[in-house]
Structure formats: structure tokens, C-alpha cells
Amino acid sequence: MSKVDSHVLAAWLDDTLQAARFKDYCPNGLQVEGRSEVGHIITGVTASEALLRIAVERGADAVLVHHGWMWRNEDRRVIGTRRTRMALALKNDLNLYAYHLPLDAHPTLGNNAQLARVLGLEPERRDDGTPRTCGPDNLVWLGTAPDLATVGQLAARIQQRLGRQPLVVGNPDQPVARIAWCTGGAQGMLADAIDAGATAYITGEASESTFHLAQETGVAFLGAGHHATERYGVQALGQAVAERFGIKVEFVDLDNPV
């Protein structure tokens, strides 16, 4: 079985996702250093205890996720669940790679690009071919759903493709033209989508104020699940790693209703 140096893999991931250009809420890249060579990776959305245990059971050398550890404003003490997770990784010599905003934003492998693929959304493109975006770090994508005419049809597509009934704020019969989307917890970017002329906005979660902003502006809001919208970028990235280095990569989907 092929293997790659753990730091060579980290450098390739950093470069591919342009990790250095993001001012993120957590460190991106190699978060925990394990064994020196990687031949088997488990990918998933979040570096939870459950995912780490599966990686250990399957004899993996590394875990690659979207949601890693050491988030801004977290308690930095190594106690409780943090101690349990870290002990698992260190005892079993697991490498942990995590990419947050860089994985949201990548133009082909990212969560937004992959959600568009899954839902059949057609991104708008600039003259240079890059996706038309708005919001902080250009994280909100803009586009259309050529074969869908109403909010209700868009909600039905989300339920069918993601296996999750979305939270919908808006009239199901309301027409949709320009659609904006940003996976995960991007409800705070609804205002950016509105300013960009969107008639509907798709993200993962909602806040109390989201309802009022959607109601008062007439822009439909669809909350499709934080986890549900962010399952696809890490799968695409894992496939790219497998093709580049010839190593074994498995995606594990541990369902999360949020």
C-alpha cells in the first residue's frame, strides 16, 4: 500500500486549499502530529470522539475533517471531552488534519461548490470563470436553479438530495430567481445575500433574528442543516488526496441532526 509523509500531505493540503489566506476561527492544517507516514485516512465532518474511535478501529493513520479542534474563545484547558479526544489521537499516533473556511471556499472541492453539485445549482461565473460570490471572505455563492421555479420546489429538492427536511421561512409558492448559499452556520450572512439581490438563501442553521430578516425583506430562508450541508467538501477533498497520493481514504458519515 502506498504511503505519504505526513508533512508532505499537510503541505499539499495547505497549498491546494490556500489555507494561509484565511483569517479563521481555528488553526487550519495539521492540528495533531501522529505517525510519520500516512497510508490510510478516515474523513468526516467533525473530529468527534466517535470518529476518532472508528479511525482507530479501522487502523487509520490520519483523520481529515472540516471541523477540527482549538476554536477561538474555547476553554483551552485539556480536560473533559478535549482530554478524551486528544488522548485517543496521541495514544494511537493519529494525525489530525482540519480545514474550516478554506474547505468552504475552494472553487471545486469546497463545501459550497459541492453543495451546488448535489442540489443542481448553477453558480454564476465572473469573466475569469471563478464563482460570483459575496460576504466575508467571499464565502457566499450566487447562482440559480434552472429547473426549479418556487421556494417549495427548492425545499423539496433539498429534502430529496440531503435527506433532511429544511427549515423554510417564506411562501412555498414564492418564485426563486437568484439563489445564494453558504454551508454550515452562515445565517449571519443572510444580509449579504439580500444585498447581492438573492431571492432565496440556503445555509445550515438559523438564529432567532433570521426569521425576522427573512420575513421583512421577502427573501426566502432555507436552513438545511449544518452537518447535512457540509458532508460533501471533505469527501471531494478525500478523493483528491486518494488520487494524488494513491492512498486509502474512507468517508464516515456520523449523522448529526443539527
Q: Does residue 100 have a known ligand-binding role?
A: no
- Output the pLDDT for position 1: 76
Q: Does residue 40 have a known ligand-binding role?
A: no
Q: Which CATH class is domain 106-229?
A: alpha beta
Q: Which CATH class is domain 4-98?
A: alpha beta
Angle at 161 between CA 157 and CA 163, to 5 degrees: 110
Q: Does residue 230 have a known ligand-binding role?
A: yes
Alpha-carbon distance of 38 to 13, in angstroms, equals 13
Dihedral sign computed on CA atoms, order 149, 103, 44, 47: negative
Residues of the chain with pLDDT under 50: none
106-229 shares the fold of 4-98: yes
Alpha-carbon distance of 143 to 30, in angstroms, equals 33
Model confidence pTM above 0.75: yes
Domain positions in the chain are 4-98, 106-229
- Output the pLDDT for position 115: 98
Question: Tens of pLDDT along 79-133?
Answer: 999 999 999 999 999 999 999 999 999 999 999 999 999 999 999 999 999 999 9
- Taking the alpha carbons at both ends of the chain, their separation in whole angstroms is 37
